[in-house]
Amino acid sequence: MNQLHDAQARGFASDNYSGVHPEVLTALGEANGGHQPAYGTDTYTDHLQTVLRRHFGEEAEAFPVFNGTGANVLSLQSLLPRWGAVISAQTAHINTDEGGAPERVGGLKLLTTPTPDGKLTPELIDREAWGWGDEHRAQPLAVSITQTTELGTAYTVDEIRTLSEHVHRHGMHLHLDGSRIANAAVSLGASLRDFTTDAGVDVLSLGGTKNGALGAEAVVVLTPGVVTGMKYLRKLNMQLASKMRFVSAQLLALYDGNLWERNATQANTMAARLRTRLSDGITAGRIHGLEFPYQTQSNGVFARLPREAITRLRERGFHFYDWDVARGEVRWMCSFDTTENDIDAFASAIEQELSTP
């Protein structure tokens, strides 16, 4: 097959746009050849359990799946009875970007609340944490948080610990959507365990695809006994890979070593470079009409700028997502393969487009 795209092209729309890290491709090649048992009874999936227990504790149990939506739906479905509901931020991926899968496929109710920065607090949770025993209300039995959030912000270890204590006092369970968990760990200077197992998270959706994998995620059960029937639900939700060794090999490439950390460090560093370059331009008076609504704490920069400037940047070949069209808010994402030259070229183009008031 001939290459059908420009392999040198870079964009800022999503870390899903990036390719596969070479070490992950190498791992897939090493897992290939010969025969291995199917459906997760292979040696790679078995070793993955050992590796992830090093990160999350000896009682952690991992269930590799194909994608993030599958991981989230499976995690939440495993925590709840048919009458259960999940409290989440209004901006949460499970609410805005999964096509109704948690409700339509998972059969659960989402109870969402607005947040100023994508992060839940005990007070925000309590807006929906009520009505237990009321047969007319879906029962709030789990809370889902995202780390890092959809707005690029990161919960601190103490914030998650406070949330878990609050959630558990209500008799609920805590799920963490960790599609960008590596970026959060790097941002916090923390281990993966610090803000998951040790902070009281019960079930985790462990990300891989956004951080250099071809297509690999996992549900990791951190608190023994909180879920039932996980292996049956994974099959029922069409998330059981027959040749699971190739899913597990990708996660091994990331987590059986420090590739997860190296990739996330590069992505975060490039986002910080973009934010700094543009902030310096604003301070020096070279850039006008640009503001940042949220902190840059991971690999995403959120910005507000005039609509005409957004259009012109796209006409120059830069790809990125609108976030809130009404407010002129966009999202610029960096990946493990984003380079300093990519950032400097993009920052220079933004400065040129916003050089006059």
**Confidence at 299, pLDDT banded by 50, 70, 90:** very high
CATH of 260-353 among 3.90.1150.10, 3.40.50.150, 3.30.540.10, 3.10.20.740: 3.90.1150.10
CA dihedral 51→213→196→146, nearest 10 degrees, is -170
**What was the pLDDT predicted at 112?**
98
Q: What single letter denotes the amino acid at residue 352? A: Q
pLDDT tens track for 35-56: 999 999 999 999 999 999 999 9
> For 325-343, how does the pLDDT look when each residue is reduced to its tens digit (9 = 90+)?
999 999 999 999 999 999 9
Q: What is the pLDDT of residue 7?
A: 87
How many H-runs (helices) and E-runs (strands) does the chain carry?
Answer: 13, 10
The predicted model gives 82-101 an average pLDDT of 96
Domain ranges of the chain: 21-257, 260-353
pLDDT value of position 38: 98
In angstroms, rounded to a whole number, what is the distance separating the alpha carbons of residues 315 and 322?
15
**CATH number listed for the domain at residues 21-257:** 3.40.640.10
| pLDDT, mean of residues 301-312 | 97
pTM tops 0.75: yes
Residue 9's pLDDT is 86
Q: Residues of the chain with pLDDT > 70: what percent?
A: 100
Burial environment of residue 131 by CB neighbours within 10 A (0 to 12, 13 to 18, 19 or more): middle
What is the average pLDDT value for the chain, to the nearest integer? 97
Closest C-alpha to 350, from 264, 263, 295, 291? 291
